[in-house]
Amino acid sequence: MDKLPHYPDITSMSGQASRRSMLKYFFATLLLPPICAIAKDTSASNASIQNALEAWANAAGLSPDMHHVRTIIADYFASTPEHASLRQQRQRADAFYLNNIPLPADLRFTDVNTRPVKGEWSTGKLTAPHKIMLYLHGGGYVLGSPKGWRPVSAVIGREAGIMTFSLAYRLAPEHPFPAALEDACTAYRWLLSMNYSARQIIIAGDSAGGGLALAVMFKLRSLGLPLPAAAFVMSPWTDLTLGGDTMDRPLEYDPYNIKADNQRNVQAYLKGGDVRNPYVSPLFGDFRGFPP
């Protein structure tokens, strides 16, 4: 982290934070895929998944911090009702970060609930007012909210010393593709309309929000709009074909990211659309000309 590049008009993301503080929040986020209830899968029973989670949480060689994070995640999935409603899943997902990562006392939040965008601003006492992070939360396109993701988005913005606008984009299945993409592009254009230049804006996100951030840049480029100064994406969901080899062996690689759950999210989000569309799966897009 000592060698992070410095981009024009954007301060170093680690300049005002201790390495330990940044890594703690990054690890907590990087380890969390789209949060959804574990359901029975043809390749793995609930009992075997729970055993794998326990083994994963207690693996040898983990630091105390990493063991703590993994235990929290394993306990979350173990306590999730198998037949939880979508509303219950959303409530639990929003509570997960808020219950496990304390918010710094100096953070301040301002709601935005007007056309054309909905979301919230967050600032800390050392926030530079002329640098913006547009943050897109994770949750598999069906879960998540700016409030629930505050310990991720707002804390990262605070540590970087920049203003964060966390977008409440529309969720599937009520609002399938391209609703989330349209909302994110609208939010970016809204920031430009407020006299922020593209070189003052970073677009960021985790998991589905990270994939969405990349998709937004494809869309902006097609519209002839200036791209942001940089993109900051954590464990972005870039391949909704679910074609990776690790997806077929969850107990070996990723005991809480079950393919059947992700397939349901894809179905809810796409409603039968083209899963290889770069606006959906950025993996299949052309990144030439993109910012850092």
Task: Enumerate the active-site residues.
Answer: 207
DSSP state of 285: S
Structure tokens given for 194 = 């407020």
Q: How far apart are CA 160 and CA 14, in angstroms?
A: 6
Q: How far apart are the first and last CA of the chain?
A: 16
Structure tokens given for 7 = 């981009």
Q: Are 14 and 22 in contact (CB under 8 A)?
A: yes
Count of C-beta atoms within a 10 Å radius of residue 120: 21
- Residues contacting 8, CB < 8 A, separation 6+: 199, 229
Tell me the residue length of the chain: 292
Strand order in the sheet with 162-167: 108-114, 117-123, 162-167, 128-136, 201-206, 230-234
Q: How far apart are CA 70 and CA 28, in angstroms?
A: 9
Q: How far apart are CA 49 and CA 231, in angstroms?
A: 34
Q: How far apart are CA 82 and CA 92, in angstroms?
A: 13
